Amino acid sequence: MTRLRPLALSAVLLVETDPAFAHTVVEGVGGFYGGLLHPVLVPAHALALVGLGLLAGQQEPRHRAAVLMIFAAGLLAAVIAIVAAVAAAAAAKVVLATAGVAGILVALAQPVPKLLTGLLAAMAGAALELDSVPQEISMQTTLIALAGTAIGAHLVLLLVAEVAAGRRRPWQRIGMRILGSWIGASAALVLALELAR
């Protein structure tokens, strides 16, 4: 009888669950504010933003500013692509890949060529925005939500980059490298599971 209890409890829990949606942010919050919260509440997006922000924070100030501008350009390019009805089925995988590469580069803590960080920032911005398209019929509502996503993502990236840039003590740098390695490993594991499906 005691062996049947966990099985019965599992069956009851399965019957009572609601379907899972990949991009449900907060129940009842949509539009601009839903878009604003989206980058921090979707784990893959948060990983990419923190990884890229840490990487930007390790760069010199002019290089860091360029990364932020290129990221914004990637966000804008994605909005233009969405308006032109371009769909990107692999956007979520690209977000994870950019998170993984950024995390690995943070862990290595070596100078990174500007071309590589620029490419990574553009890909992350475009993929993050393409992966954030709400399931709305109205183009106006979609654009308002995407504007919120772009602003939220850019603010998070800016905040993480500035905080990382201010950390100069050796133990703080080691902590950022450890965080980068965790981001790289987490993104790689999730991406491997996605690709195995």
Mean pLDDT of 147-174: 93
> φ and ψ at 62, to 5 degrees?
-70, -40
* Alpha-carbon distances, residue 120 vs 66, 103, 136 (angstroms): 12, 11, 29
Number of compact structural domains in the chain: 1
Q: What is the pLDDT of residues 74-91, one digit of tens each?
A: 999 999 888 887 777 889
Helices (H), 20-113: 31-41, 43-57, 61-83, 91-108
22, part of any domain: no
168, part of any domain: yes
> φ and ψ at 27, to 5 degrees?
-55, 125
Cα separation, 132 vs 128, in Å, equals 6
> φ and ψ at 45, to 5 degrees?
-70, -45
144, part of any domain: yes
pLDDT at residue 4, as a whole number: 52
pLDDT at residue 157 tops 50: yes
Percent of the chain with pLDDT over 70: 85
- 102, 106, 97, 108: which is closest to 164 by C-alpha? 106
Tokens of 63: 């290089």
100, part of any domain: yes
pTM of the model: 0.82
82: domain range?
30-196
17, part of any domain: no
171, part of any domain: yes
88, part of any domain: yes
Mean pLDDT of 5-12: 47
pLDDT at residue 3, as a whole number: 58
Q: What is the pLDDT of residues 30-71, one digit of tens each?
A: 788 888 898 999 999 999 999 999 999 999 999 999 999 999
Cα separation, 184 vs 54, in Å, equals 12
174 CA to centre of own chain: 23
18, part of any domain: no
Cα separation, 148 vs 171, in Å, equals 35
